[in-house]
Structure formats: structure tokens, C-alpha cells
Amino acid sequence: MILYELISYDVMRVIWWLLLGVLLIGFAMTDGFDMGVGALLPFVGKTDVERRVIINTVGPVWEGNQVWFILGGGAIFAAWPPLYAVSFSGFYLAMFLVLAALILRPVAFKYRSKREFSAWRNGWDWALFIGGAVPALVFGVAVGNVLLGVPFELTPQLIPMYPGSAFGKLFGLLNPFALLCGAVSLSMLLTHGAAWLSLKTRGNIAARARDIGAMSGLVTIVGYAVAGLILLFFIDGYAIVGEVVKDGPSNPHFSEVERTGSWLAAYLDRPWIVIAPICGFLGMFMVMKGLREDRAEVATLLWSKLGIFGAISSVGLTIFPFLLPSTLDPTSSLTVWDASSSHQTLFIMMVATVIFMPLILAYTAWVYSVLWGKVTEDEVTGNSHSY
């Protein structure tokens, strides 16, 4: 009770904004290489045995990695209910597209090896490609649309309203800037998957993965830079004007928001956040360099994780305190200060997180230590329990 009183409502909101970022970055760092490996599968694996090796590098861990995605969705639902309601209801078809692609992955893992016909296995290999490439692309498209602003408004009763049809809203998300962000996301996770395969495989598989990963790393760097320039010169940001009430009720209409200036003005107000894009560029450059030179695989994978951390955190830090800006009615924009659950709810969730998050991390570390080492063709063909 004393701790509850010591941590104020505004501080608790920032803590949960940080935790949401941790969950999303954790998902990209772990399940991201699963998706990258799936998207690389048809191009890196030339024979059935090679593709089995690739699949078995992620087969034992992908389910655990996907837990981060579930935790992220749960955190949005519990800590940021208005954000969950507005985003999930407004982008239902886009969410359905992601879920349909993700559903293909477990089915493909389980059914691919049930029959030995090449057509059967090739079909499931492309299902794994879809299950990896589509979510990676759509997640980036979503980030691009958050930076642009989303066409919704809240009624006085805080009911989200969207103009147009469901398909119109879906195709409206596929604008040039959002597609650029989607391409950056996809290439970034392809690079991450290549770094993982470089660590977990040998021979031709690792060599092909390094070649593709080096190219996708370059695409990531260039696309990330171009997106930043577009943000600087062509896209207006949002700002809260007037008094900012950080511990007030969760009602966006209590804040006055306007479109003004550039999102990148945040780097003038908070210069320290430049560390995020620096990490993004540095991490991607070093992983690209490591893949080209066939250097230490563990370091290359860690550089890839740093690049992902920098790229994702740069978005959150740039738009803070906004969570989901509105283009139709800027006053309806959701921010850290007006879209959270109650103080008590956030505190109870924080206590649960402090208890269970270390257990999850410890278990994950133990699993990876047990499964450490490269996956070989002899191991796959000689093990009846492999995929």
C-alpha cells in the first residue's frame, strides 16, 4: 500500500508505456528471427534436407517466442483499453490478415513432414514464408500509419468512429509511406533471420543466409534513413497545446491537440533520444558487416538485436507522449496521459509483472542454453522427432 502511494499515477503511466515498449521489442527480437527464417526458407534452402535444417533451427523455440506477442496484446488490453478498442476494432481486417498468417505457421510446422511428396512439402514451405513475411510487413505498415495519424474520431461518449468501408480502411493503410515502413520492417527481420541462420547452421545454408542478410541489411539502413527524411520534411507531427494534465482521467477530450511542426522536433526538446536511431543505424551496419565478413555469429546476432531495439524505440521516443494520433480530430488522439487504465489497475499489473517477468526471462534463457549449438543435416535426418 505504501509503494502504491509512492508511485504516482503519471509515473505509473510512463512505467507501463516503457513496459509496452519492452514487450514489443522483445517480440521483435525473439519471434522476429522466427519470422525472418520463415520468409527466407524458400530461398535459402534448396533441398528438402536443407529446408528441414532451417525449420529445425526455430522449431523448438518459436512457440515460446510468440508468447511475447500475446503478452504485448494483453498489455494493450489491460493497461491501455482505449488504444486496444480503437486500434483492434478499426483495423480488424489488417489484424485478421496478421492472425491468419500467424495461424499458418503452427499448421505448417506440424503438417509439413507428415508426407514425403515434394508438392506437399513445397506448399507448406510457402505457408511458412507467408507466416513470416506477411506479419513482418503488416507490423511495419501499422507503424507507418501511426506516424502519419489514423482517420478516427471519438464521440462525446468515447465511442471510436471510422469513415468508409472495412475494405476501404484496409487499402487506406497501404499508402506509400506506410509501405516503405513495411519494407523496412520486413528487411530488418530478414536480416535478423539471416543472423540467426548464420549462428545455427553451417555450409551452404549459412552462406546463402549471409548473402541475403547482407543485402536486406543494406535495404534496412537505406529505408530507415529515407523514412526519417520523409518524416522531417513532409509529415506533420502532433503536439499537446496548453496545460498537460499527466495524472488526470483517461479521457482524450480533456487535452487539446494540434498538428504542428515535425515529429523530429522531439530531438530538439529531448536531445538524448538520438541514442535510439544511432543504435538502429549502428546495429544494422554492424550486422551487415558481420554477415558480409562471416564474423563471430553471436556478436552478429546481438548487433541485429541492437538494431531492432534502436529502430522500434526511436518510433516510440519520437512520438511520445502519443500512442495513436487522429487525423480526423486531433483532440481524439490517444496519449500516454489520457488512454490508460486506473492507477490501481496499473499498480496491480506492475506487481504481477515484477513477479512473473523474471521467471519468463529465466526460463527462456534456460531453454536457449539447452538448445545451444548448430543444427546439422545428420542431426535432422537421424532424429525421428525432428521436423
Query: Tens of pLDDT along 126-183?
Result: 999 999 999 999 999 999 999 999 888 888 888 888 876 666 666 778 899 999 999 9
Give me 15's grid cell.
512505467
Give me 325's grid cell.
494520433
Query: Tens of pLDDT along 89-104?
Result: 777 788 888 889 989 9
Strand 322-324 versus strand 160-161 pairing type: unpaired
Q: Which residue is it, cell 530488418?
A: 188
pTM of the model: 0.93
In whole angstroms, what separates CA 209 from the centre of its chain? 22
| Cα dist from 356 to 47, 350, 368, whole Å | 42, 10, 19
Give me 176's grid cell.
506509400
Q: Which residue is it, cell 549471409?
A: 210
Query: Hey, is 384 helix, strand or coil?
Result: coil
Strand 160-161 versus strand 153-154 pairing type: antiparallel
Query: Tens of pLDDT along 103-114?
Result: 998 899 889 888
DSSP classification of residue 250: S
> Which residues touch 42 (CB under 8 Å, ≥6 apart)?
125, 126, 129
CB count within 10 Å of CB 222 equals 13
Query: Tens of pLDDT along 199-257?
Result: 999 889 999 999 999 999 999 999 999 999 999 999 999 999 888 888 888 888 888 88
For the chain, give percent helix, strand, coil, nearest 5: 75, 5, 20
pLDDT at 329 over 70: yes
Please state the rounded mean pLDDT for residues 63-90. Answer: 86
Distance in Å from the first CA to the final CA of the chain = 51
**Under 8 Å between Cβ of 38 and 55:** no
Calpha distance 290→314 (Å, rounded):
23
